[in-house]
Each structure stands twice: as structure tokens, then as C-alpha cells.
Structure 1
Amino acid sequence: MEQRKKIAIIVAGGSGTRMGSAVPKQFLELSGKPVLWHTVNAFATAFPDIHIVLVLPEPHFDYVRPWLHEFSTGVVVTLVKGGETRFHSVKNGLSEVKEPAVVFVHDGVRPLISTALIRSCYETALSAGSAIPVIDMKDSIRQIEGEQNKAVDREQFKIIQTPQTFLSEWLLPAFSLPYDPLFTDEATVVERQGHRVHLVPGEEANIKITRPLDLTIASALLKERS
């Protein structure tokens, strides 16, 4: 199968307000390392020749500089300044894509992503153009319409995860579009260009750390792995 350059744009712009913490959530300690370290390490382990683009608010660069050298020698890590929205942050990260590549866009606060899922997203994007990991909804859900609410079939809905993964020739033109508040993730931007996005099975453990409880769960899952 064709091999391509691999670029992971890891977006870590959170301020940690929901965690009730002075330290942004991506730098909180998880099993002795910052959350974001685990995220970067997952991609560095999946592909030892990967280029990782860390998109952060500029004042946060000093949080990551001490450990950027800790990954295998073929891994390049570049720091890029974030933008005012996720769209603008990803767009800034895409400025590092200089040649045809498979581009992963991943949340910095999803540190438990497995190398298997990263590789599966790469293979699917190579053959289908894109790979969006999803998991099933377990809870019953209701739709609220004004004063009314109604039960809806959860089978018709999926929970979206990252890394949202694309061929660069899909992603770069999509991000040259003007910003629209309806762009909630990379898939919605690519769809605006007329591409159909391809869903792949995600992972229950690929959780997003936004509240103190998530950190407790992540810590337990990491202990189980090791």
C-alpha cells in the first residue's frame, strides 16, 4: 500500500475552567506525566517517523518545552500558536503541511488513544480519503423542542471522537473556506467541500478529559494497561 507522510495536528487550547484548576487540563498530571505528554506519546509510538504539530496558546509553550525531546529520534514536534476558535487553531497547524500527507487532527485532552486506532485511521484515510472514529450511544436520549420533548432512536446517532483523519488534499482546500460558526469539527468543514466522510469504530477508552472525574477514570484505565 502507498506510504505517505504522517502529520498529527494536536489541538490543546483549553483553559481548564471546567476542571476548576489553575493549570490548564492538558497539563494536569496523569500517572506522573502531563495529560498532553500521553497524547503526543501515543502518536510517536504509532509512527516513529510522524511529524507532530502541537497547537497551543503561546503562553503555554513553556509547559511543553521541557519534555519535547523525550520521544523517539524520528519524531519531529513543532509548536504552533493557537487561534481564536478550533477552526482557526487547526488552520494554523495546517500551515506545517508542505507536501501530500495523511493528516490527523486530535484533541490534546484525549490521552488514551491507542496506537491501533491511530494506525486504523491512517489506513482508512489512505483508501477512503477520511476516517472519523465513532462509538455507539449507550444512554437513552430525548430531543427538546421548546416546551416539548420526545424520545429518539439512539441507533441513529453516534458519538464522534478524534483523531479525525484526512488526506491533505481534502483538508487543506476545506480550511481555505471562510470561517462559519457551523464548523463544529473538521468533518463538517470537509463536508462543506462536498466530500462524504467515512466513519470507523472508535474506542470506549478514548475519552476526553474535561472534568475531574475524567482524570480519575483515565488514571484507572492507564493502571489497567500497565
Structure 2
Amino acid sequence: MNDSKSLRPQDPKTLRFAIIVAGGSGTRMGADRPKQFLELLGEPVLLHTLRRFAEPTLGVQELVLVLPPDQFSTWEQLCRQHQVQIPHAVVAGGATRWASVRNGLAHLPAPEGVVAVHDGVRPLTPTRVIEATFEAAYNHGAAVAAVVPKDSVRGLNQQGSYALNRARLRLVQTPQCFSLDLLRRAYQLPELTTFTDDASVVEDLHPIHLVEGDYRNLKITTPEDMLVAEAILRAQQLTP
């Protein structure tokens, strides 16, 4: 462990926390269970995600998992079945993602630090992306992982559609990392229908710094996503 890592716990401003939000129902998957509980190479998707943030080199002080209350028992059963030893707190989610993140924030007692908010169904996030987003949030206050669109993009108007310059567009991913104080102030404001992620909650208070994401950092939503995720995970396991 290098000096910067060893010094992190001594400086409250550099303490790291993570809130993993998992409230999916699995409707679009056509599955018999929420998508975060589907098996990905023999383990629940959510366990893969949790393990990414438990990587010791990241130095995350506390992991908070936000789940619908009716999924608590299922997660407890899966933790026993897979002998999960990763320390984490489980917090009840709200009616919306905004409310769920707010509940996760309320669980964190620390007055200072940097907090990552991450989708529970993004199980393949490279450690370098998590680290870079944490570091950027420490330096800039708010940082979001994002990638350039691969496809051409068009906007819609009353006449039909028009071309957009994809070089000026980004596809937003998670983690999204923020100064803990900044994110708390943002979540004290009323919820708006325009909130689609944490960056949209924060952006009226603070500029959002973009960090290079990774195309492998997919959000599992459809059955096709599971096939791609399995292929990526197999490849990662074979990499020395």
C-alpha cells in the first residue's frame, strides 16, 4: 500500500463510502426474480457488484446496500448460500431512486468524505474507473463516469429528427462520486421529475466533472445484457 492510501483514513475529507442502489424488479428481463438476484456465472449479479467496491485497494470505509424491504430476506438467504463475508449495511429503499439514495445517505454518520453512488446491476465496473471517479470527486467535488456514444445520434423535433454531434455527447454510467457534504445538500432539495441520476440532482449546485468510463461497465437490463456480461466476466477471470 502506497503512502497516499495509508494516509487516507487520517484525513476525514478523503474517507470513502459507497451506496449501491438495487431496486429493480426484473420486468424487462422477463425473469422470475429481480435482476440484481439473477445468477451471473453462478453468483448473484449484486454480489459481483458489491465485490467491486470491496476491493481493498479502493479503501472504501463503509458499503451501504439499498434494497426494497421485501427483498431483504432474499438477500440474506443469498448471502448465507454464497457465504458472503463482505461487511455491508442494508438499508430500506424508497418509492423512487431519489428516495433510495437519500435513505442510503442518511445511514452514513460521517460529516466529511467522498461517496460513490452505483447501480446494483453494474457488476463489471473496472477498479480503475472506480478509483478515478473517487479521485476526481475529491479534487472537483462531483465526478461521473461516462463514455462517448459509439453510434450516430439523432434528436427529435416536430419536423422529424436532426443529427447531433456525438463528440459533444456522453453516455453516463456509474459510479457517480461526490463530496459527502455536497450530495447531502443536494438531497435536501425537493425531488423533481427531471432527476434521472445523482448528477442531475447535484448539477444546480455544482459543476459535474466527467471521468472516462468503460464500455464493459454495462447496466444489466435485458436478457442480452446477461449474455454480454457473462462473456466479459469470463474474459476478466482469464486475465492474469
What is the match of residue 218 of structure 2?
A: 207
Q: Deviations over 1:124-165 (max 9, x none)?
A: 111111210010101011111134211121111100000100
The Cα shift of 1:70 comes to 2.3
Kept in 1: contact 2:16–2:59 (CA 8 A): no
C-alpha distance in structure 2 between counterparts of 1:47 and 1:208, whole Å: 21
What is the match of residue 234 of structure 2?
A: 223
C-alpha distance in structure 1 between counterparts of 2:52 and 2:42, whole Å: 16
What is the match of residue 121 of structure 1?
A: 133
What is the match of residue 25 of structure 1?
A: 35
C-alpha distance in structure 2 between counterparts of 1:208 and 1:29, whole Å: 15
Structure 2 counterparts to residues 70-219 of structure 1, below 5 A: 70-72=84-86, 76-99=87-110, 100-193=112-205, 195-219=206-230
The Cα shift of 1:48 comes to 5.2
Q: Deviations over 1:165-202 (max 9, x none)?
A: 00101100000001111111111111122x10110000
C-alpha distance in structure 2 between counterparts of 1:165 and 1:49, whole Å: 12
- Equivalent position SS for 2:89: strand
Pick which of 114-123 and 157-166 moved more.
Answer: 114-123
C-alpha distance in structure 2 between counterparts of 1:42 and 1:71, whole Å: 14
Instruction: Name which of 9, 13, 16 aligns with 1:6.
Output: 16
C-alpha distance in structure 2 between counterparts of 1:185 and 1:102, whole Å: 17
**Counterpart residue type for residue 178 of structure 1:** P
What is the match of residue 58 of structure 2?
A: 47
C-alpha distance in structure 1 between counterparts of 2:230 and 2:61, whole Å: 26
Pick which of 4-13 and 167-176 moved more.
Answer: 4-13
- Equivalent position SS for 2:136: helix
Kept in 2: contact 1:44–1:71 (CA 8 A): no
**TM-score normalised by structure 1 residue count:** 0.93
C-alpha distance in structure 2 between counterparts of 1:41 and 1:22, whole Å: 24
Q: Identify unmatched segments of 5+ residues in structure 1.
A: none
Ranges of 4+ aligned residues in structure 1 off by more than 6 Å:
none
Q: 1:49 to 1:134 in 2, by over 3 A?
A: closer
Considering only aligned residues, what root-mean-square deviation do their CA atoms show, in Å? 1.5
C-alpha distance in structure 2 between counterparts of 1:92 and 1:17, whole Å: 24
The Cα shift of 1:50 comes to 2.9
Pick which of 113-122 and 153-162 moved more.
Answer: 113-122
- Equivalent position SS for 1:143: strand
C-alpha distance in structure 1 between counterparts of 2:158 and 2:32, whole Å: 37
**Counterpart residue type for residue 229 of structure 2:** A
